[in-house]
Structure 1
Amino acid sequence: MKATIERATLLKSLSHVQSVVERRNTIPILSNVLIEAAAEGGLRLMATDLDLQVVETIEAAVDVAGATTVSAHTLFEIARKLPEGSQVELSAGDGKMKIVAGRSNFNLPTLPRDDFPVIAEGELPTQFELPAATLRQIIDKTRFAISTEETRYYLNGIFLHVSDEAQPVLKAAATDGHRLARVTVARPDGAAGMPDVIIPRKCVAELRKLLDEVDGTVELSLSPTKIRFGLGTAILTSKLIDGTFPDYSRVIPTANDKLLKLDPKSFMQGVDRVATIASEKTRAVKMTLERDKIVLSVTSPENGAAAEEVPGEYVSDGFDIGFNARYLMDILGQIEGDSVEVHLADAAAPTLIRENDKAPALYVLMPMRV
Structure 2
Amino acid sequence: MKVSIERSALLKAMSRAQSVVERRNTIPILANVLIEAEGNSLSFRATDLDIEVVDKTDAMVEVAGATTVSAHMLHDIVRKLPDGSTVQLSEDMAAGRIEIRAGRSNFSLATLPREDFPIMASAEYDCNFGAKAALLRRLFDKAKFAISTEETRYYLNGIYLHSATASGGQMLRAVATDGHRLACIDADLPDGADSIPGVIVPRKTVTELLKLLSDDDADIAVSVSETKIRFATPDITLTSKVIDGSFPDYTRVIPQSNVKRLEVDAAEFAQAVDRVSTVSSERSRAVKLALDEDRLVLSVNAPDSGAADEELAVAYGDERLEIGFNAKYLLEIASQVDRENAVFMFNSSGDPTLMREGNDESAVYVVMPMRV
**Aligning the two structures, in what range does the TM-score lie when normalised by the shorter sequence?**
over 0.9
**Deviation digits for residues 228-268 of structure 1 (CA, Å, limit 9, x no counterpart):** 00023110000000000001010100100100110111111
Q: Aligned to 1:83, what secondary structure does the other structure show?
A: coil
TM, length-normalised to structure 1: 0.98
> Could you tell me how far apart the structure 2 residues matched to 1:163 and 1:335 are?
22
> Could you tell me how far apart the structure 2 residues matched to 1:212 and 1:200 are?
20
Q: Which runs of 5+ in 1 are unaligned?
A: none
> Could you tell me how far apart the structure 1 residues matched to 2:345 and 2:5 are?
56
Q: How well do the aligned residues superpose, as a CA RMSD in angstroms?
A: 1.1
- Mapping for residues 101-140 of structure 1, pairs under 5 Å: 101-140=102-141
**Aligned sequence identity (%):** 55
> Could you tell me how far apart the structure 2 residues matched to 1:244 and 1:186 are?
24
Change in 2 beyond 3 A, CA 1:214/1:343 = closer
> Could you tell me how far apart the structure 2 residues matched to 1:244 and 1:58 are?
38
> Could you tell me how far apart the structure 2 residues matched to 1:281 and 1:354 are?
24
Letter in 1 for 2:36: E
Deviation at 1:340, TM superposition (A): 1.3
**Corresponding residue for residue 10 of structure 2:** 10
Letter in 2 for 1:36: E
- Mapping for residues 88-237 of structure 1, pairs under 5 Å: 88-92=87-91, 93-94=93-94, 95-166=96-167, 167-213=169-215, 215-237=217-239
> Could you tell me how far apart the structure 1 residues matched to 2:188 and 2:8 are?
38
Change in 2 beyond 3 A, CA 1:24/1:90 = same
**More displaced, 212-221 or 247-256?**
212-221
> Could you tell me how far apart the structure 2 residues matched to 1:354 and 1:264 are?
11
Please state if 1:63 is matched with 2:65.
no
Q: Choose from 263, 266, 280 the match for 1:264.
A: 266
**Deviation digits for residues 74-119 of structure 1 (CA, Å, limit 9, x no counterpart):** 1111111111111111111221101111111111000000000011
Contact 1:42–1:57 (CA under 8 A) maintained in structure 2: yes
**Deviation digits for residues 321-355 of structure 1 (CA, Å, limit 9, x no counterpart):** 00001100101111111111100000000000001
Deviation at 1:356, TM superposition (A): 3.0
**Corresponding residue for residue 54 of structure 1:** 53
Letter in 1 for 2:188: A
**Deviation digits for residues 189-221 of structure 1 (CA, Å, limit 9, x no counterpart):** 111121100000000000111211463211100
Letter in 2 for 1:197: V
Change in 2 beyond 3 A, CA 1:181/1:100 = same
Q: Aligned to 1:25, what secondary structure does the other structure show?
A: coil
> Could you tell me how far apart the structure 2 residues matched to 1:17 and 1:97 are?
18
Contact 2:35–2:43 (CA under 8 A) maintained in structure 1: yes
Runs (4 or more) in structure 1 with deviation over 6 Å come to none
**Corresponding residue for residue 285 of structure 2:** 283
> Could you tell me how far apart the structure 1 residues matched to 2:276 and 2:3 are?
58
Q: Which runs of 5+ in 2 are unaligned?
A: none
